Amino acid sequence: MTALPSHPAASARSVARPVDRILADVHSWPLFAGPVIHTRALAATDDVETFELWLEQDRSVRSVVLERRTSEVPTALVFRADGPATVVRYRDDLAGAVDIETTAPAGTDTGATASLEIVVRRILTELAESAALPGGPGAWVYTFEDVVRTHGSVGDVFEFLRRLELWPGGIAHVHEVDYDEDDDGVQTVSTTVLGDDGTRHRIPSIRICLRQARVVYKPLTVPPIARAHLGQWSVEQHADSVTITGRHTIALDPAGVRQVLGADATIEAATRLVRSALGKHSLDTLDAAKSFAENSLRSHDPALSWDRLGTS
């Protein structure tokens, strides 16, 4: 069994290296920074890596472009949204301290610029905190998948996964869903979930409906045992069937693990608990999507063509 890591004594240099690693691993940011919902690589050269980030702030979502300028020393991070650019430079010290310089064209809404700077500061703070987790942040990450096969169509499966109003009554643990969806397939969701004891829990989340019949999502609140949960529903056509996959990645919280399972808890015990509880909901959702697709009387609906399956 793997015991929970303890906090080692560390020099400024040893702490700074994990900070640099987590800053370089942009695709891990949704796990370790609350405002980051999803990331997508756009381009890469020897000097600059470019990403699209979906950021949540006060239950609203904005898409920004991030540039990692690796040719600069120290590496600069440039966040761009609606014109203003927030340039973030890192000092290699014990606290992972940062300098933030905000520039914007004349006439830019100062409130929007300040809002972007606030969310960037929060991201940087939470990434630095995660980099200092005992054993490193990767020690606390757990991923699992559930896969179901169906003879239904990709379009019908994706219709169920996207249209959340179909979930109450179709999935046992889903009591009620309220959501709004914008033109880019970003859904702001509030789901009332039924516990095994009949209690109701309201969970806010952000979902992004992507092309290739894929939905990624991030609950904005999680149980004490976790720091974050990233989910993904994907649908894939094969020669003789369609597969529906639920993929879940959880960042465990060290203090939460001890709170829930006791001081002598192991990471294995925590992942078993997560796998059992979350896996049941995952399979229930996949089975409901399978049933919806197979019970559909239509084999194809032109309205569900690929150009309507979400953003790229």
SS3 82: coil
Q: How confident is the model at residue 15 (pLDDT cuts 50, 70, 90)?
A: very low
- Per-residue pLDDT tens for 73-121? 777 888 887 655 666 665 544 444 556 676 666 666 666 677 888 898 8
* Alpha helices, H only, the chain: 12-24, 29-32, 110-131, 154-162, 254-261, 267-295
The mean pLDDT of 9-30, rounded to a whole number, is 70
Q: How confident is the model at residue 232 (pLDDT cuts 50, 70, 90)?
A: very high
Alpha carbons 190 and 246: distance in angstroms, whole number? 20
The mean pLDDT of 239-266, rounded to a whole number, is 96
Fold of 12-131: Alpha-D-Glucose-1,6-Bisphosphate; Chain A, domain 4 (3.30.530)
Q: Phi/psi zone of residue 58: left (φ > 0), alpha (ψ -120 to 50 degrees), beta?
A: left
* Domain boundaries 137-308, CATH class: alpha beta
Say what the pTM is.
0.85
Ranges of each domain in the chain: 12-131, 137-308
* Residue whose structure tokens are 């300098």: 99
What pLDDT is attached to residue 77? 87
Count Cβ atoms within 10 A of the Cβ of residue 129 and give its class: 0-12 exposed, 13-18 middle, 19 or more buried: middle
Task: Locate 17 and state its tokens.
Answer: 């290296």
The mean pLDDT of 229-251, rounded to a whole number, is 97
Domain 12-131 identical in fold to domain 137-308: yes
CB 267 within 8 A of CB 135: no
| pLDDT at 6 > cutoff 50 | no
CB 127 within 8 A of CB 32: yes
